Amino acid sequence: MMHNPHTPQHIAFIMDGNGRWAQARNLPRIKGHEAGAETIRKITTFCAENPMIETATFYAFSTENWKRPKTEIRFLMQLLLRYLKKERHTLRKHNIRFKAIGALDAFTAEIREQIDALEEETKHNTALTQIMALNYGGRLEITEAANRLIAQGKRQLTSEMLSEALQTPYSELDIMVRTGGEMRLSNFLLWQSSYAELFFTETMWPDFNEAELSKILKAYEGRERRFGAIHA
């Protein structure tokens, strides 16, 4: 098997399947979201302990998820606030830097204050950058980046300029994992995923664990990333 020399610096997760996980257990969907929050904590800690991984990005809420019933959205917002408050401990303990991307102005002042405080408190941490994608949409991120450049007076955009103007600090993504069995990107990191290695698993996000991620990392090593070139 060809050895892949590109170490996985940036890995992203489409955390899908919380609702189905709960429904399969005769639980309300929100119990699946609660269980899913625990998975984020486990996987983040695992990534922080892996020296190859510099950034782990988690898709927690899309720009399209507002289409869900109000009760589910209300619960997700409460859960987000609880998660942010509780996460402080994990981030400090494991030397993790926190960052949020997405259209954050849609959230309450309380949530935005928590996000700002976490970003500020953890800005010097070095083991991992954990990025939470909240009210995130790939198309929105690209459109906003283009508009920022235009507002700066740029007339002709280059792909380098756009890469730098995106909210996501690393424009290149190495691994994209989607749990829950669907094989689509659902508007996640559209720009960054151009040469990402994609992994899809039937496992529902609450059941995803370190062992399965280890297998993915191992499989990644065996993939040949050609970036359009020809390798002997």
Q: Locate all alpha helices (DSSP H) within 24-69, ordered by sequence.
A: 29-49
* Residue 20 Cβ vs ligand IPE, minimum distance, rounded to whole Å: 3
Closest to 48 in 3D by CA, of 94, 92, 100, 97: 94
Q: What is the footprint of ligand IPE within residues 51-110 (CB under 6 A)?
A: 59-62, 65, 76
Smallest separation (angstroms) from ligand IPE to the CB of 138: 11
Question: Nearest residue by C-beta to ligand IPE?
Answer: 19
Partner interacting with residue 206 (select from ligand IPE, Mg ion, none; CB below 5-8 Å by kind): none
Q: How far is the CB of 33 from ligand IPE (least distance, A)?
A: 6
Helix (H) or strand (E) holding 20: helix 18-23
SS3 61: strand
Task: Choose which of 184, 194, 198, 214 interacts with ligand IPE (CB under 6 A).
Answer: 184
* Distance between CA atoms of residues 127 and 85, nearest Å: 20
Q: Which residue has its beta carbon closest to Mg ion?
A: 16
Which 3-state string (H, E, C) describes 164-217? HHCCCCCCCCCEEEECCCCCCCCCCCCCCCCCCEEEECCCCHHHCCHHHHHHHH
Active site amino acids: 16, 65
Q: Check residue 175 for interaction with ligand IPE (CB under 6 A).
A: no
The footprint of ligand IPE on this chain (CB under 6 A) covers a number of residues equal to 17
Among ligand IPE, Mg ion, none, what does residue 203 contact (CB within 5–8 Å per kind)?
none
**Judged by CB under 5 A, does residue 16 bind Mg ion?**
yes
d(CA 84, CA 68): 22
Residues that bind ligand IPE (CB under 6 A): 14-20, 59-62, 65, 76, 180, 182, 184, 186
